Amino acid sequence: MFKTGFDNNKYLKEQTEAILRRVDKFGDKLYLEFGGKLCFDFHAARVLPGYDPNVKIRLLQSLKDKISIMLCIHAEDIEKGRLRGDFGITYDEATLKLIDDLRKWDLDVLAVVITRYDGQSSALVFKNKLMRRNEKVYLHSPIEGYPTDIDTICSDRGFGKNDYIKTEKPIVVVTAPGPNSGKLSTCLSQIYHEHKRKINSGYAKFETFPVWNLPLKHPVNIAYEAATANIQDFNLVDPFHLNKYNKIATNYNRDVESFPILQLILKRIIEKNETDFPVYNSPTDMGVNRVYWGIVDEKVIEDASKQELIRRYFRYYSEYVMGIEKKQTVSRVRLLMEELGVKVEDRRVVSFARKSADEAEKKGKGHEGIYCGAAIELGDGRIVSGKNSKLMHASSSLVLNAIKTLARIPDEIHLLSPQVIGQIAKLKKGVFETDSESLDLQETLIALSISSTTNHTAELAMNKLAHLKNCEMHMTHMPTPGDEIGLKRLGVNLTTDGRFSSPKLFIR
């Protein structure tokens, strides 16, 4: 059963007040760097059950009359086609999606800043594409000596050579489709220009994780460390905060490492204008994070965070098998699991999926010598299994079994007639010349929707598909492209054992 451990309304109240207090502290304007995901923050929703993945959008809506929004994207990320893992789209596509998503909530984007632009052709194409849709785009070039050469950075050869983006609202939210997009340098560049114009603007950071007032080894913070293991981030006690206030606060390595330089840059910008400007004493001081105040059941939060740790392990291991991720990332998350005493078997669906694969092998019911099992945990705690066959992929049989269970349809009743399955298989093999006749999930869902027009039982079952959203699912083998598309659209939380679903190296 789904248990709630987080109260969005309590969080919104505390978070809104914290941001407004920070604006008052600086006088004229606050540049608020938004770390993490602005929309669809599924990591936060998984480790904080009850957390609305779009609660930050609700926060911005409540401050709508006081904010402008800027998006940053690193030119090299455009050039290299860097992917955002949760949606499987490139960062430039994610930027376009973020603009559209914000507009759905009646929030507009003032400008897109392409950072560290150094002649990358793909970045220039992206700029032109946006400008021809009447979007404002600015190019920020690399600054020689950034971030250590303070004299150059805080001069007309540094921040001064960047275009100044005029803003009118007291809060400027600076966000991006992912990490390392140049948000901080964009904030500092704007503050430099504004202090030259006698505008008292300041900087603060909105970062959901790590939660500064939870212990360093709390499962929520460990889960965040696992989420960033691929970029070698790690949590630590903020030494500046401890030294100044004799209080323990949790932060992470990049913020702690960059703080002395950031403090020097801010001082240089302010001293140049002889403005009475508050200087931060620690990286924790810079933050406005109030997540802790939204936690209403710590036990639920701890359990959910341990489950997220297991999911991260499976994800990284699968990416390692595919050649995407490094072995040290997998090993790092394994160590974090051991630290909390967490095993992969603590994810309930894992043993059911593996048992299903074993049963398929014993009966000799697989495909191409591969015996794949799958299992899903429904919202009420029941677990349903499925396995692959010559007719269907494991994910296809699992989803059909799950919606039959939800609709209380007896197991012996078919949702898809053998004739329909046979005709699709014939089309795949005879016309499309595919390697497999077995139906992947995307094909199965299309066949189900067609069958539902003449089969009332299939219609009843199809209406239950929405109930699979956010359900936990595990497969012994990695999904094929057609399975992956179907599972993403259903919104399940999928993990796999990282084995290939076919002995062939090239599948079509």
pLDDT tens-digit profile of 395-441?
A: 999 999 999 999 999 988 989 887 777 777 777 665 656 667 788 99
Are both 228 and 277 inside the same structural domain?
Answer: yes
Cα–Cα distance measured from residue 371 to residue 388, given in angstroms and rounded to the nearest whole number: 7
Are both 465 and 322 inside the same structural domain?
Answer: no
Q: What share of the chain is helix, strand, coil (3-state, %, to 5)?
A: 50, 15, 35
Query: Using alpha carbons only, what angle is made at residue 127 by residues 194 and 148, rounded to the nearest 5 degrees?
Result: 45
pLDDT tens, residue by residue, 303-362 = 999 999 999 999 999 999 989 899 999 999 999 999 999 999 999 999 999 999 998 888
- Provide the pLDDT for residue 332: 96
Domain assignment of residue 6, yes or no: no
pTM of the model: 0.88
C-alpha distance from residue 410 to each of 179, 348, 386, 413 (Å): 48, 24, 15, 6
Number of structural domains (the chain) is 3
Residue ranges making up the domain that contains 183: 53-199
3-state secondary structure 214-233: CCCCCHHHHHHHHHCHHHCC
Identify the residue whose tokens are 């967490």.
342
pLDDT band for position 505 (50/70/90)? low
Domain assignment of residue 289, yes or no: no
Q: Which spans in 218-367 are helix H?
A: 219-227, 239-245, 253-273, 283-286, 298-321, 327-340, 348-363
Are both 214 and 302 inside the same structural domain?
Answer: yes
Average of per-residue pLDDT across 229-233: 89
Average of per-residue pLDDT across 161-175: 94
Which of 199, 229, 246 delimits the end of a domain?
Answer: 199
229 close to 312: Cβ distance less than 8 angstroms = yes
Are both 249 and 170 inside the same structural domain?
Answer: no
Of 133-142, 226-235, 243-252, 425-434, the poorest mean pLDDT is in 425-434
Are both 61 and 175 inside the same structural domain?
Answer: yes
Identify the residue whose tokens are 């209403």.
296
pLDDT tens, residue by residue, 2-37 = 789 999 999 999 999 999 999 988 888 999 999 888
Average of per-residue pLDDT across 132-156: 93
Domain assignment of residue 41, yes or no: no
Are both 324 and 186 inside the same structural domain?
Answer: no
pLDDT at 186 over 90: yes
Which has more confidence, 132 or 427?
Answer: 132
Average of per-residue pLDDT across 149-174: 94
pLDDT band for position 85 (50/70/90)? low
Domain assignment of residue 8, yes or no: no
DSSP-assigned beta bridge partners for residue 171:
30, 67
- Reduced to 3 states (helix: H, G, I; strand: E, B; else coil), residue 206 is strand
Cα–Cα distance measured from residue 434 to residue 480, given in angstroms and rounded to the nearest whole number: 13
Domain assignment of residue 178, yes or no: yes
Cα–Cα distance measured from residue 475 to residue 356, given in angstroms and rounded to the nearest whole number: 10
- Provide the pLDDT for residue 417: 80
Are both 195 and 334 inside the same structural domain?
Answer: no
Domain assignment of residue 413, yes or no: yes
Domain assignment of residue 173, yes or no: yes
206 close to 174: Cβ distance less than 8 angstroms = no
118 close to 78: Cβ distance less than 8 angstroms = no
CATH of the domain at 451: 3.40.140.40
Cα–Cα distance measured from residue 63 to residue 149, given in angstroms and rounded to the nearest whole number: 36
Are both 129 and 180 inside the same structural domain?
Answer: yes
Are both 155 and 189 inside the same structural domain?
Answer: yes
- Provide the pLDDT for residue 274: 45
Which of 150, 166, 199 delimits the end of a domain?
Answer: 199
Cα–Cα distance measured from residue 391 to residue 413, given in angstroms and rounded to the nearest whole number: 16
Percent of the chain scored above 90 by pLDDT?
73
pLDDT band for position 179 (50/70/90)? confident
pLDDT tens, residue by residue, 33-82 = 998 888 889 999 999 999 999 999 999 999 999 999 999 999 999 998 87
Output the average pLDDT for the chain. 90
Which of 158, 173, 199 delimits the end of a domain?
Answer: 199
Are both 444 and 354 inside the same structural domain?
Answer: yes
CATH of the domain at 263: 1.20.1570.10
DSSP per-residue codes, 415-426: SS-HHHHHHHHH
pLDDT at 119 over 50: yes
Cα–Cα distance measured from residue 99 to residue 269, given in angstroms and rounded to the nearest whole number: 31
pLDDT tens, residue by residue, 264-312 = 898 888 765 444 555 789 999 999 999 999 999 999 999 999 999 999 9
Are both 177 and 155 inside the same structural domain?
Answer: yes
Are both 367 and 340 inside the same structural domain?
Answer: no
Domain assignment of residue 124, yes or no: yes
CATH of the domain at 186: 3.10.630.10
Token pair, residue 172, equals 């400027």
- Provide the pLDDT for residue 273: 47
Most confident of the ranges 73-77, 105-109, 472-476 = 472-476
